Amino acid sequence: MRVLLAGSGWLGEQTLRELRRRGHEVVAVWDRSASGRLATAAAGGGVKAITLASIGHPGWLQKIPELVVSAHCTWPIEEETLARCPKGGIGYHPSLLPLHRGGDAVRWAIHMRERVTGGTVFWLNNRPDGGPVLAQDWCFIRPNDTAESLWRRELGPMGVRLLGEAIDLVADGQAPRRDQDEALATWEPSFRTGRLLPSRVH
């Protein structure tokens, strides 16, 4: 399947490798900058790298992808981009959605002293972290975990695996769409604001 991979960092790079391993064609990657980790990895494999500055320029996508895949994509993917792809788009979020929507899901799960968390692949739409669920898995949070240790040991590798499995399901026409239960939805602000606010209904 032809994929546009939008993302950055370790998750973006590892997802690129996983898609190649599974035989999918990554027509382009979309990173914040040409020197980003995903863009650099793509260039080494002969895949076109586009950046935020190049979006919308004539010819920015020479081959139309069937699916957009978001792997640590911290900027919005416009509905216009998703509409160009016959199968839409999917993304990974490191929580058991609809719990912990927002950019610091891992830190909030630890801050709230939870013992179980997980990861979710969901269908992208115009609601941040609010699209239908395609796949989920869970893991324990150890008493001495930090956001970094939990990500490296569990949630990062889980994301790569879940995205790979989900893309195979989309390609086979077997990917589910399970609506999130809004009665359970929570959203937390970024820890970078310096304000530790309680979780609230989204």
Indicate the domain borders of the chain.
1-87, 92-202
pLDDT at 93 over 90: yes
3-state secondary structure of 33: coil
Q: Does the structure show a pLDDT above 70 at 67?
A: yes
Cis peptide before 198 (omega within 30 of 0): no
Residue 195 predicted with pLDDT over 70: no
Spatial separation of the C-alpha atoms in residues 102 and 115, rounded to whole Å:
19
Tens digits of residue pLDDT in 29-48: 999 888 999 999 998 888 88
- Same fold? 1-87, 92-202: yes
How far apart (Å, rounded) are the C-alpha atoms in residues 166 and 100? 21
**DSSP character string of 178-192:** B---GGG-EE---GG
Is the entire prediction scored with pTM above 0.75?
Answer: yes
> What was the pLDDT predicted at 54?
56
Q: Give me the CATH code for the 1-87 domain, please.
A: 3.40.50.170
- Read off the pLDDT of residues 133-171 as tens digits, 9 standing for 90 and up: 999 999 999 999 999 999 999 999 999 999 999 999 999
- CA–CA dist 105, 157 (Å, integer): 16
Contact (CB, 8 A) for 119 and 137: yes
pLDDT for the residue 186: 96
Total count of residues recorded for the chain: 202
Q: What are the φ and ψ backbone dihedral angles of 24, each rounded to 5 degrees?
A: -90, 150
92-202, which class in CATH?
alpha beta
pLDDT score at 52: 64
